[in-house]
């Protein structure tokens, strides 16, 4: 295995495990995590929250284990779009309250970019 292939593999495993750990944490704190209000003032139905957490787990495992990693990365991108739109829309905030949401939006954009790289390398 070349150095480049090894680095890609390690990076893919790290990315996948990031989402697996997040999904496990969300399920371990399911009552609190699924009861969070969106930035728009409503709570998601429990089934929608559960689907999001399952998406984290399934997408993360797919990417980490290399089982259909392009599909797993695409699922993670859809999760990131939903999570960013519903929970980190920095445009809804002003001043100091905007800063953490802008940060999480940028992090989620970077993660989505990394997922796009996984898709590109999987094709």
pLDDT of residue 15: 97
Structural domains of the chain, count: 1
How far apart CA 9 and CA 122 sit, in angstroms, is 11
pTM of the predicted protein model:
0.93
Closest CA to 79 of 31, 122, 121, 16: 16
Q: Where are the alpha helices (DSSP H) in the chain?
A: 3-28, 30-34, 46-65, 69-87, 98-122
- In this predicted structure, the answer to whether residue 56 has a pLDDT above a threshold of 90 is yes
Who's near 30: CB < 8 A, 6+ residues apart? 50, 53
pLDDT value, residue 34: 86
Residue 36 has pLDDT above 90, yes or no: no
pLDDT of the residue at 72: 98
Task: Kindly tell me the burial class for residue 64, based on how many C-beta atoms sit within 10 Å of its own C-beta (0-12, 13-18, 19 or more).
Answer: buried
Domain that holds residue 64: 3-122
């Amino acid at each position: 295995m070349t150095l480049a292939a090894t680095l890609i593999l390690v990076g893919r495993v790290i990315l996948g495990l990031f989402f697996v750990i997040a999904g496990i944490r969300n399920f371990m704190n399911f009552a609190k995590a699924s009861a969070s209000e969106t930035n728009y003032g409503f709570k998601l139905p429990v089934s929608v929250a559960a689907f999001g957490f399952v998406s984290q787990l399934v997408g993360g495992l797919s990417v980490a284990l290399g089982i259909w990693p392009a599909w797993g990365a695409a699922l993670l991108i859809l999760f990131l779009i939903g999570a960013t739109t519903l929970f980190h829309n920095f445009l809804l905030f002003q001043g100091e309250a905007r800063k953490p949401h802008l940060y999480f939006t940028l992090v989620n954009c970077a993660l989505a970019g990394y997922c796009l790289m996984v898709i590109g390398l999987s094709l």
